[in-house]
Amino acid sequence: MDAVFRALADPTRRRLLDALFKHDGQTLSALLGRLPMTRFGVMKHLRVLEEAGLVVTRRRGREKLHFLNPVPIRQVHDRWVSKYAAPWAAALTDLKHSLEGRLMEKIFEIYIKTTPERLWEAITNPDMRSKYTFGVAVTSDWKPGSHYVGIPRQQPDFPICEGENLVVDPPRRLVQSFRALWSDDVKREGTSRVTWEIEPIGDSCRLTVMHDQMREGANGEIYGGWPMILSGLKTLLETGELLTTPGSLRYLGAEWGQPA
């Protein structure tokens, strides 16, 4: 948490995050064009943001792309802001940025003190999954090419999402097609793809979730819940407790903490 605040304290680093907020997945050269700084200066600021977990990178061919990772900011929200201004703050974290001229891609990263096996179980076990995905249990036989479906515990006749397990490599990598079903608006978005990557680091794991193959300007509901889901997953595995989020409150019949 201290690294996040140190990274955000610098106005230049905030400008870099603003640039990624507007257009995610930028190269160093593209970011250089947005700041009156040397290449070395921008690289230095990006390194601080990466160390704080606010920026993650991915290689695409010869290019190194930089992505805004909102999960640490969501954790700050869950620790303090949600007590006082949840509706306003949650609206600010509704990320609506896109890549020009290609499909949209979002990357989320979080560190969890657990084993790869336990993390894989939390992703694939319906009972555990429902505890941090707003009560939605995801069921499947978890074999390559098989179908999965997400069903709310309290509304078993109302599936939330479905798709196909494209790659199943426990406890390291899970790639799935994803189709949202909870409203007509999200159904019109069609099928996208979600990749879960687990990397052991000491006594912890780095979990990276990449949600891609979305159309430019896709409905924010498709990907906007990931920071809450991953924060809830971290809380469950590290403490055994459930994390109260706007999503979980809605599922329990309350809107932003108010009676339904």
**Confidence grade of residue 196 (pLDDT, cut at 50, 70, 90):** very high
Residue 13: is its pLDDT beyond 70? yes
On average, the pLDDT of the chain sits at 85
pLDDT of residue 259: 35
Query: 64-80 pLDDT, tens per residue?
Result: 999 998 888 877 777 77
Q: How far apart are CA 67 and CA 53, in angstroms?
A: 10
pTM of the shown model: 0.64
Tell me what pLDDT residue 93 has: 42
Domains of the chain: 2-68 (1.10.10.10), 71-251 (3.30.530.20)
Secondary structure (DSSP) of 121-167: HHHH-HHHHHTTTTTEEEE----TT-EEEEEETT-TTS--EEEEEEE
Alpha-carbon torsion 56, 60, 62, 63, what sign?
negative
Q: How confident is the model at residue 130 (pLDDT cuts 50, 70, 90)?
A: very high
Burial of 141 (0-12, 13-18, 19+ CB in 10 A): exposed
| Residue 260 pLDDT level (bands cut at 50, 70, 90) | very low
Q: Please report which confidence band the pLDDT of residue 62 belongs to, taking 50, 70 and 90 as the band edges.
A: confident
Interval 213-229: pLDDT, tens = 998 889 999 999 999 99
- How far apart CA 238 and CA 240 sit, in angstroms, is 6
User: Would you give the DSSP letter of residue 80?
Assistant: I
Q: Match 């390291």 to its residue by tokens.
A: 172
Mean pLDDT to the nearest integer, 191-202: 95
* Residue entry with tokens 């600010």: 92
Task: Spell out the residues 6+ positions from residue 209 whose beta carbon is closer than 8 angstroms to its own.
Answer: 107, 108, 109, 194, 195, 196, 197, 226, 230
Percent of residues, the chain, with pLDDT higher than 70:
87
